[in-house]
Amino acid sequence: MRLEGKVAIVTGGAQGMGRAISLRYAQEGAKVVVGDLNLQGAQAVVDEITGANGQAVAVEVDVRDQAQAQSMVDTAVQQFGGLDILVNNAGVGKIIPFLETTEQDWNFMFDINCKGLLWCSQAAARQMISQGRGGKIVNLASQAGRRGEALVLAYCASKACVINMTQSMAMALAEHKINVNGIAPGIVDTPFWDEVDRQFAKLLNMEIGEPKRTFIKSIPLGRIEQPEDVTGAAVFLASAESDYITQQTLNVDGGNWPS
Active site residues: 155
**CB nearer to ligand NAD: pick between 129 and 224:** 224
Of 50-58, 62-70, 163-171, 174-182, the segment contacting ligand NAD by CB under 6 A is 62-70
37 near ligand NAD, judged by CB under 6 A? yes
The rounded distance, in Å, linking the Cα atoms of 133 and 128 is 7
**CB nearer to ligand NAD: pick between 77 and 216:** 216
**Region 200-259 residues binding ligand NAD, contact defined as CB under 6 A:** none
**CB nearer to ligand NAD: pick between 94 and 176:** 94
Query: Of the candidates 39, 44, 77, 92, which one interacts with ligand NAD according to CB under 6 A?
Result: 92
Geometric angle at alpha carbon 11, from 61 and 78, rounded to 5°: 65
15 near ligand NAD, judged by CB under 6 A? yes
**Region 167-206 residues binding ligand NAD, contact defined as CB under 6 A:** 185, 187-188, 190-193
Count, residues near ligand NAD per rule CB under 6 A? 31
Nearest approach, Cβ of residue 113 and ligand NAD (Å): 6
Query: Of the candidates 54, 93, 182, 254, which one interacts with ligand NAD according to CB under 6 A?
Result: 93
Of 32-40, 51-59, 94-102, 234-242, the segment contacting ligand NAD by CB under 6 A is 32-40
Give bridge partners of residue 250 from the DSSP assignment: 183
**Region 112-141 residues binding ligand NAD, contact defined as CB under 6 A:** 112, 116, 140
Of 55-63, 71-79, 120-128, 212-220, the segment contacting ligand NAD by CB under 6 A is 55-63
**CB nearer to ligand NAD: pick between 133 and 202:** 202
- Order of strands, sheet of 31-36, starting from the edge strand that comes earlier in the sequence: 56-60, 31-36, 7-11, 85-88, 135-140, 178-185, 249-252
166 near ligand NAD, judged by CB under 6 A? no
Q: Which of 70, 95, 74 is nearest to 57 (CA)?
A: 74
Cβ-based burial of 115 (10 A; exposed 0-12, middle 13-18, buried ≥19): middle
Spatial contact of 6 and 85, defined as CB atoms under 8 Å apart = yes
Spatial contact of 209 and 197, defined as CB atoms under 8 Å apart = yes
Spatial contact of 52 and 24, defined as CB atoms under 8 Å apart = no
62 near ligand NAD, judged by CB under 6 A? yes
> What residue ranges bind ligand NAD (CB under 6 A)?
11-12, 14-18, 36-38, 41, 61-64, 89-93, 112, 116, 140, 142, 185, 187-188, 190-193
